[in-house]
């Protein structure tokens, strides 16, 4: 089953924010369950009308809570939150790149109250610009989840995937890599594909993660560039996004794809193996954690601030986590929970061996590194 045109929204561009030049890619079509997205500068319609006489449990008269989100389950979550609290929600559902561009354009007059996308580098940039409100949620995180929270509480990580996993076609190959260096060997020549970090939101953390893994913050950029140069010399193929890389795998252009774990899990759920295509997955040591992150606009009114905080608490509650885990069963719901007592969907194994990169160090480098990749590796 081809996934052409069915690109995970999170496999779109992760752009630099204020002070950085956005790198915008074509967007995927929002999922059928999502609210229709208006063009930039217009407002999304309500997800549903609030119950008559309903008011926020935080107190005070409700105001519409505007949520900018790129998550596949966001429509289900916002509807459930509204039903539980009576707070009217206006969902602006779009790909990560356009949402971050919109946030940047609205810096002096923001229309959003809550931003919810994958990857914490963008939120680190917003924090450095003083745009995020600090908040400590009412939740108990796992050890992995605690590591994903910023020390200044400027944003909240609410879930995680990893980047990359390796999906391979077991109908065409029996060779499975055990290390990142294996991919440089002759057995993988011309057989490996990955996404373009300038277009694929989850891919920049992978590139930065390899740099971090190979040389840390002191020499990582140099070592990582050398590694990707060797991958290119070994025939690395670069595609736009998760959907394109998966299509190349399905059609035999490559035998190994380096993509986001949730996209891999979705592919394994969707595809019925055949004699020509039997997808399997493997995770190499120190894959990079890719958190799903919620940020609250610092410029919110007092009532909107209360509602935004209540939304964060709902997302991290057992009820909110349940909706996240079911709202996009063959896509974004395939994440590892980072709240204690919440279990991942049964199709996922344990969280792979991983690392966390410092978003405040690697975030500001995103534009430069993505430009280097497109000029030196993609070409």
- Asked whether 129 and 103 are in contact (CB, 8 A), the reply is no
Say which CATH number the domain at 26 has. Answer: 3.40.190.10
Is residue 90 domain-shared with residue 212, that is, in the same domain?
A: no
| pLDDT tens, position by position, 3-31 | 433 344 444 444 444 344 333 333 333 33
**CB atoms near residue 88 (< 10 Å):** 21
In a domain, 4, yes or no: no
Is residue 34 domain-shared with residue 153, that is, in the same domain?
A: yes
Is residue 234 domain-shared with residue 328, that is, in the same domain?
A: no
In a domain, 358, yes or no: no
Name which of 328, 288, 378 is nearest 23 in CA terms. 378
Phi, psi of 81 (to 5 degrees): -65, -45
Is residue 187 domain-shared with residue 249, that is, in the same domain?
A: yes
- Asked whether 300 and 294 are in contact (CB, 8 A), the reply is no
Residue 76, pLDDT > 70, answer yes
In angstroms, rounded to a whole number, what is the distance separating the alpha carbons of residues 310 and 131? 19
Query: Which residues is 237 bridged to in the sheet?
Result: 193
Is residue 113 domain-shared with residue 86, that is, in the same domain?
A: yes
By the 10 Å C-beta count (0-12 exposed, 13-18 middle, 19+ buried), 342 is classed as buried
pLDDT average, residue stretch 234-243: 94
Residue 84, pLDDT > 50, answer yes
**pLDDT at residue 44, rounded to an integer:** 47
- Asked whether 237 and 379 are in contact (CB, 8 A), the reply is no
pLDDT average, residue stretch 154-179: 97
In a domain, 178, yes or no: yes
Secondary structure, 3-state, 228-256: HHHHHHCCCEEECCHHHHHHHHHCCCCCE
Is residue 263 domain-shared with residue 338, that is, in the same domain?
A: no
| pLDDT tens, position by position, 313-371 | 999 999 999 999 999 999 899 999 999 999 999 999 999 999 999 999 998 898 899 89
* Dihedral sign for Cα atoms in the order 159, 292, 79, 314: positive
Q: What is the mean pLDDT of the chain?
A: 87
Name which of 162, 156, 121, 161 is nearest 315 in CA terms. 156
Is residue 95 domain-shared with residue 188, that is, in the same domain?
A: no
Query: Which residues is 355 bridged to in the sheet?
Result: 288
Give the chain's domain count.
2
In a domain, 2, yes or no: no
By the 10 Å C-beta count (0-12 exposed, 13-18 middle, 19+ buried), 274 is classed as exposed
**pLDDT at residue 367, rounded to an integer:** 83
Is residue 127 domain-shared with residue 14, that is, in the same domain?
A: yes
Q: Which helix (H) or strand (E) holds 67?
A: strand 65-69
Residue, of 47 and 261, whose pLDDT is higher: 261
In a domain, 1, yes or no: no
By the 10 Å C-beta count (0-12 exposed, 13-18 middle, 19+ buried), 331 is classed as buried
Is residue 138 domain-shared with residue 25, that is, in the same domain?
A: yes
In a domain, 3, yes or no: no
Is residue 343 domain-shared with residue 248, that is, in the same domain?
A: no
pLDDT average, residue stretch 105-129: 94
Is residue 370 domain-shared with residue 245, that is, in the same domain?
A: yes
Q: Which domain holds residue 248?
A: 163-288+363-378
Residue, of 335 and 59, whose pLDDT is higher: 335
In a domain, 56, yes or no: yes
Is residue 251 domain-shared with residue 343, that is, in the same domain?
A: no
In angstroms, rounded to a whole number, what is the distance separating the alpha carbons of residues 236 and 16? 26
In angstroms, rounded to a whole number, what is the distance separating the alpha carbons of residues 97 and 14? 6
Instruction: With cut-offs at 50, 70 and 90, classify the pLDDT of residue 59.
Output: low
**pLDDT at residue 364, rounded to an integer:** 86
């Amino acid at each position: 089953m081809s996934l052409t045109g069915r690109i995970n929204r999170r496999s779109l561009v992760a752009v630099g924010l204020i002070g950085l030049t956005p790198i915008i890619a074509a967007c995927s079509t929002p999922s059928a369950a999502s609210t229709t997205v208006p063009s930039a500068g217009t407002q999304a319609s309500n997800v549903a009308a609030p119950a008559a006489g309903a008011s926020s449990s935080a107190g005070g008269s409700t105001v519409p809570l505007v949520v900018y989100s790129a998550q596949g389950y966001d429509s289900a979550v916002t509807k459930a939150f509204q039903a539980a609290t009576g707070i009217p929600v206006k969902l602006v559902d779009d790909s990560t790149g356009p949402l971050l561009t919109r946030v940047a354009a609205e810096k002096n007059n923001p229309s959003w109250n809550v931003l919810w996308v994958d990857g914490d580098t963008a939120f680190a940039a917003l924090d450095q610009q003083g745009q995020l409100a600090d908040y400590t949620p009412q939740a108990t995180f796992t050890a992995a989840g605690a590591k994903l929270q910023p020390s200044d509480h400027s944003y909240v990580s609410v879930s995680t995937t990893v980047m990359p996993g390796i999906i391979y076609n077991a109908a065409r190959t029996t060779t499975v890599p055990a290390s990142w260096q294996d991919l440089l060997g002759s057995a993988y020549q011309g057989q490996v594909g990955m996404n373009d970090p300038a277009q694929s939101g989850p891919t920049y953390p992978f590139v930065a993660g390899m740099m971090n893994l190979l040389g840390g913050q002191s020499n990582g950029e140099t070592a990582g560039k050398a590694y990707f140069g060797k991958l290119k010399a070994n025939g690395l193929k670069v595609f736009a996004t998760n959907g394109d890389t998966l299509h190349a795998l399905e059609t035999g252009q490559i035998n190994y794809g380096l993509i986001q774990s949730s996209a891999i899990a979705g592919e394994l759920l969707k595809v019925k193996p055949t004699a020509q295509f039997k997808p399997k997955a493997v995770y190499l040591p120190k894959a990079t954690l890719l958190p799903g992150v919620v940020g609250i606009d610092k410029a919110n009114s007092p009532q909107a601030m209360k509602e935004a905080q209540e939304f964060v608490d709902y997302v991290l509650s057992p009820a909110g986590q349940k909706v996240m885990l079911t709202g996009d069963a063959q896509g974004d719901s395939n994440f590892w929970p980072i709240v204690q007592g919440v279990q991942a969907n049964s199709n996922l194994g344990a969280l792979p061996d991983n690392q966390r990169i410092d978003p405040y160090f690697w975030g500001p480098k995103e534009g430069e590194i993505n430009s280097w990749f497109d000029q030196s590796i993609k070409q």
